[in-house]
Structure 1
């Protein structure tokens, strides 16, 4: 019988990397269980880093066949995770959000299945979702009451209602909210715990204060090929991007192409084209870069959340690149800036 079991429900590479750091530091000593509920996370999971792992299908998207398939999937998911947890004294449940039915029912069912005397819920960082609060609307509050009705058919499916922010940051069951360094947030300060940068360079790389070459990553994407940029504008954008890197004293430039960018549009002579045999997210988490640059790839947002302030993340060419509308440009610019990506027009 374990004293403390920490369970991590993750749905993205960012959440996975945050959960890994939390397991190694803030939850050290607990039994560590990873549950992912988006299939795309599976390729980055390293089972040897956890005491147990499992894929849990999302009930709404993957109901069981037949009548009441969603309801039966919820019950099967609870049995699955409870079998991994076993018996314990204390449960720490980690998730980026607690209002969704895929996660919420565990707040009531899992402590009872495990015989736990204490349960705490802790919120994982979720990138841009974590930048601001999302108050529960009257409709969402009404939906909580409807979900509570499942208890009439299955006592373990008791929905735990709460008010305030929809992720659960204001709820009494939540005692800790993990945030990324440098990322803005609107959470109550008494609950906030700031993580270290998620990128943890491997021991083979020089220490931060050791002499080393300055290194940058160019994030490629289809621009001309996708109709986002005129062909005559591409050389100027690439020249500005690479010129800025030279101004920063970058000695080594690596280029990560996009699967839909066979022409490596932003690649310049001397760039080292990468060919990775693992997901980009895991590879990035073990690297150290002085700068990561691109145009409008969402990989820049991921990089900004992964690295601390010592790594500059820049977006170039926004004066030439096309957007579907002025509203799309405003929304994307607000997103990039709120995440800390510097936009060079």
Structure 2
């Protein structure tokens, strides 16, 4: 909607992991450098973690695009798979036959592929994004894949990318063998205030046909405080701020425009939270109501049974007998 107004080739803050828009903050640059070094060395597992929206997927795709012809890579983004499904997916990504339905045949074909690539002097890497979703069973299967090796080198290098929960999962007792094989751990952190300014300008410069759009200092501050340096949140609020500026026919994103965008996003977020809270309250109310009805029914049933016992002929005879016995004594 605002693309032509600001002379953009495309919207600069779209929520897609486009490597062309990769901004190398200090943290991103360090992780990318470590990742490149680890692949050159070819040792063990690599673990990359970062909070939601810090740019892990964008970094992975940029890394993959810059690999040379001597490196064969497979990238798996949706790892909600069991062991067999994961092996089939890995083979598919490498262009290997994956019609077998058992672990042995799938691994044998993968091993043959890896040996052939090694003979050609090529490296093979496997990147699994959102790896915090992998089950313990699948992670253990990946550890076994790392046993594919020659007497001198690993045939497959595995890079696990995920949210901080991935690190917590790997720290578990069940996965201690895998944890010991991780030779490099990197963490992506949110952007600093200075990097937020640079990030916004970086994306605008790539998308712009000509210079024009500007963000005021107050706008940068508001966006930084709202986003806490998380690139995905920066994209969301900047996109909304540009739309607000377009509606107001303004070429400069002022602090007031940024705050208006943040307030609108906050209202929507509050509405969603309130809706969720109301649903929870409704569920809780009906749960308590059903519990109360159940308790009353059980109580009344017990009370009626007790009255029936008291008023029964047998109980009357017992009471009379007890009464006579008491009189004799």
TM-score by length of 2: 0.35
Structure showing the higher helix proportion among its residues: 2
Larger radius of gyration: 2
The higher-RCO structure (CA 8 Å, 6+ apart) is 2
